[in-house]
Amino acid sequence: MNAAPPLGEHSVLLKVDGMHCVNCVRKLERTLAAAGATADINLVGGTAELRWRDAQRRVQQFVELIAEAGFTAQPLQQVEADQPTDTPEPAGSASLLRIGIAGILGMQVMMLAATAYFVAPGDIPLPLQQLIRQAQWWLATPVLLYAGWPFLAGAWTALHMRTLTMDVTVSAALLLAYLASAVATMGGSGQVYFDSVTMFVFLLLLARHFEERGRAAATRRLHELAAAQPRDAQREQADGRLATVPIAQLASGEVVVVPPGIAVPADGELLDSAAECDEALLTGESRPVMHCAGDSLCAGAINVGRAPLRLRLTRVGADSTLSQLTRLVHRAQSQRPRTLRLADRIAGQVLAAVLLLSVAGAALWWQAGPDHALAVALAVLAVTCPCALSLATPTALAAAASGLARRGILVVDADALLRLARVDRVCLDKTGTLTDGRMSIVELVRCSSVEASEALALGAALERGVHHPLALAFAPYDDGRPVSDVRVLPGRGPQGRVGNACLQLASSEGEGELSWLTLSRDGEALARFGLAQNLRPDAASAVALLKQQGLQPSLLSGDSAAAVSPLAARLGIRRWHARQSPADKLERLRELHAAGHRVWMVGDGLNDAPVLAGADVSTSLASASALSQARADLLLLNDRLDGLGLLLRQARRCRAVVVQNLLWAALYNLIAVPLALAGLVTPWVASLGMGISSLVVVANALRLALPPVQGPRSDLEETLA
């Protein structure tokens, strides 16, 4: 389903903790590049996909290098094996303890500091004033050294690696304020900023805590997929008894029993006559799905019937559909969309500008009022928030992908969502996309006195055991009557004996979109059958919805004009092209691109792979060929075309949220920094503003994590569309 790494290249997907901003990402990239590995790092998902060529290198070496850079890493498969059924807890006990300590001690510091705000300087006796300052100092010290340790440690490793991260500016502000206050306390004169230190640590820890919870919520679907596979399975032994074994010990061909309420451990073929399964996690289908004997069941589907079901395994472990989907999602989340790189660059430049501004601000205030110089420098360092800028796009993309996954749509390339929001043309494949690839008999013309049901039963007897779509259309009419001497004549269809008569079913010429077969007995025509491809039940509504959303649909098909034209008319598609080879389809795509259109291709077959790869955005169905799926940016796991409308709507919502977030981040910094430079913002209020700014961005993006529904577009979406 996904592309394997090139020959001689090794790869591993790591779960990385401790990344907070784009500069952390950059630091990690540089560390790994120095060790000869390229990395796709996902800040939101907290993952890094490493690729390297040196066969001597081991994963553990990279894990140790990452640890030296100040982060913790573990191979993702190991993480899943350790915690197979739990959604990871975003904030551990240590993080909450740091917040609690900063909160309790910080509150006390604020109470003591309030005396300086509300009482005139001369009203407090000097010894008492000194006691208040020293009490603040004692309280602020554990806040800085214990609760604020993650910032100090992050800054130290960043400087050690010669990079600039958010932790550097935060630590600079904290240490500057703390040391200046300590000197003032020891000297018995000058301003103290212990309240700013404690509030900054507390608010920043709180903001990061909620930010991490938001990021975890945005990627929760991924962990649900990973956790869907049970750890053990009940394997049927040769003597018929059941043995509980770890799923790693299962092999293809073995029979397992899945009790009610338990998930299927690996892909397999149902041996029971019927079973009811909940496949919501895999396909987004909220209702249980009925299966009959011989149907394929995917790992992760939950047996919601009353009885245990028996299954013969066909694909186990890493080969199962669930494992492939999970890997695909992990890979998708590790790839760094192009749109993020621009935001990253801007955030990095903002960080450098902040340091310069704080120094410039302090220098200017040193001339005008030296008492305020330090406060201004601290406020500028604290108030600026490049975090909001670097979180604006990735959080929105992750949340949008999570929301789509709940509707059975898998986002393989996150960048595709932003591209999809701007498309104006959609090209649809016919066979397997708008139709379900099967055929049915829609017309019967009697040429003799034989009854229609008799003619259908005779045709079904001749086509028994043949798997061609035309032959399968007769299967529902098979009454099991005996047939002998069946032969399939090339280009002429099946021939055989029923009773004493020699029967033949051969293709014949006909008008319109139908394929015609003629049944003859001893050379005399008995009946003619008109067969048509089954249009998917939601094809017409899906096309109508896309048109309603402003897209112009085109139909590209390898079939004849006689087959394509009526179908296009039924669906209301004005532009259609018949007899299209893969090269022709690519040519149509080039024409649309040349005319300035942005094109969305929806296809499923092997022949669609080139055009899927060439389109601005591509979508494939879960029933499509593996090659088409590998080329597609987005996958409809439930094979339902109404997902196309939802996809487009979610993509436009996503783009609107990204624009809102970037505008908010830019506006906040443009207003907050001049205010801080003017000395109108105290350092602790500045730290409050910074925390709130990050949270606004994350909270706005999390709206996209809800499953999308069809509805009217907002004004902003209209404008952006």
CB nearer to another protein: give 136 or 321: 136
Residue 121 contacts another protein per CB under 8 A: no
Shortest Cβ 15–another protein spacing (Å)? 19
Q: How far is the CB of 133 from another protein (least distance, A)?
A: 11
Q: How far is the CB of 128 from another protein (least distance, A)?
A: 6
C-alpha angle 57-18-2 in degrees, rounded to nearest 5: 55
149 binds another protein (CB under 8 A): no
Answer yes or no whether residue 126 interacts with another protein by CB under 8 A: no
Contact 29, 41 (CB under 8 A): yes
Least distance from another protein to the Cβ atom of residue 550, Å:
42
> Could you tell me if 25 and 160 are in contact, meaning their C-beta atoms sit under 8 angstroms apart?
no
Tell me if 302 contacts another protein by CB under 8 A. no
Complex with another protein: residue 128 or 318, whichever CB lies closer: 128
Question: CB of 114: closest distance to another protein in angstroms?
Answer: 13
Between 112 and 556, whose beta carbon lies closer to another protein? 112
Read off the tokens for 163: 């990079």
Residue 108 contacts another protein per CB under 8 A: yes
Locate all alpha helices (DSSP H) within 243-369, ordered by sequence.
Answer: 280-283, 321-334, 338-368
105 versus 621: smaller Cβ distance to another protein: 105
Q: Which is nearer to another protein, 205 or 571 (CB)?
A: 205
Among 101, 216, 578, 685, interactor with another protein by CB under 8 A: 101
The 3 state secondary structure assigned to 7-20 is: CCCEEEEEEEECCC
Residue 572: strand, helix, or coil: coil
Bridge-based pairing state of the strands 296-297 and 435-446: unpaired
- Cβ distance to another protein smaller for residue 108 or 508: 108
CB atoms within 10 A of CB 657: 25
Tokens representing residue 321 in the block: 């559909």
What is the rounded distance in angstroms from the CA atom of residue 221 to the CA atom of residue 106?
37
- Measured between alpha carbons, how far is 579 from 315 in angstroms, rounded to an integer? 37
Q: What is the closest distance, in whole angstroms, from the C-beta atom of residue 124 to another protein in the complex?
A: 8
Q: Does 124 bind another protein (CB under 8 A)?
A: yes
Show the beta-strand stretches assigned E in 572-712: 575-577, 599-603, 617-621, 634-636
Q: Which residues touch 199 (CB under 8 Å, ≥6 apart)?
A: 106, 110, 684, 687, 688
Distance from C-alpha of 300 to C-alpha of 291, rounded to nearest angstrom:
15
Interaction of residue 132 with another protein, rule CB under 8 A: yes
- Residue 437's Cβ-count burial label (10 Å; 0-12, 13-18, 19+) is middle
Using CB under 8 A, which of the segments 98-106, 197-205, 240-248, 638-646 binds another protein?
Answer: 98-106
- Residue 488, both tokens: 């399939």
Residue 217 C-beta: closest distance to another protein, Å: 12
Q: Toward another protein, which CB reaches closer, 94 or 569?
A: 94
Min separation Cβ 101 and another protein, Å: 6
Nearer to another protein, 127 or 712 (CB): 127
* Amino acid making up residue 664: W
Residue 104 within binding range of another protein, rule CB under 8 A: yes
131 near another protein, rule: CB under 8 A: yes
| Tokens read off for 699 | 């909270």
Residues with Cβ < 8 Å from 4, sequence gap 6 or more? none
> One-letter amino acid identity for 237?
Q
205 near another protein, judged by CB under 8 A: no
The answer to whether residue 673 forms part of the interface with another protein (CB under 8 A) is no
Pairing of strands 599-603, 425-429: parallel
Q: How far is the CB of 189 from another protein (least distance, A)?
A: 20
User: Judged by CB under 8 A, which stretch of 14-22, 106-114, 274-282, 503-511 contacts another protein?
Assistant: 106-114
Distance in Å, CB of 94 to another protein, minimum:
8
The smaller minimum CB distance to another protein, of residues 105 and 168, is found at: 105
- Minimum Å gap between C-beta 201 and another protein is 14
Selected binder of another protein within 67, 94, 274, 663 (CB under 8 A): 94
- Pairing of β 501-508 and β 515-521: antiparallel
| Sites for another protein among residues 572-611 (CB under 8 A) | none
The full length of the chain comes to 721
Q: Are 107 and 46 in contact (CB under 8 A)?
A: no
Contact between 342 and another protein per CB under 8 A: no
Interface pattern 439-468 for another protein (x via CB under 8 A): ------------------------------
Q: Which amino acid is at 703?
A: R
Whose tokens are 């590995």? That residue is: 37
Check binding of 128 to another protein (CB under 8 A): yes
Tokens 């999809």 belong to which residue?
A: 420
The least distance separating another protein from the CB of residue 122, rounded to whole angstroms, comes to 13
Mode of pairing for the β-strands spanning 617-621 and 634-636: parallel
Residues numbered 63 to 92 that lie near another protein (CB under 8 A) are 89, 92
Nearest distance, CB of residue 305 and another protein, angstroms: 18
State the Cα–Cα distance between residues 695 and 18, nearest whole angstrom: 18
Binding to another protein by residue 139, rule CB under 8 A?
A: yes
Does the protein bind another protein through residue 96 (CB under 8 A)? Answer: yes
The answer to the question of residue 111 lying near another protein (CB under 8 A) is yes
Residue 137: in which H helix or E strand, if any?
Answer: helix 126-142
Stretch that binds another protein, among 120-128, 187-195, 291-299, 443-451 (CB under 8 A): 120-128
**Is 353 buried (19+), middle (13-18) or exposed (0-12) by CB count in 10 A?**
middle
Closest separation between CB of residue 280 and another protein, Å? 17
- Which residues lie near another protein (CB under 8 A)? 89, 92-94, 96-97, 100-101, 104-105, 108, 111-112, 124-125, 128, 131-132, 135, 138-139, 142
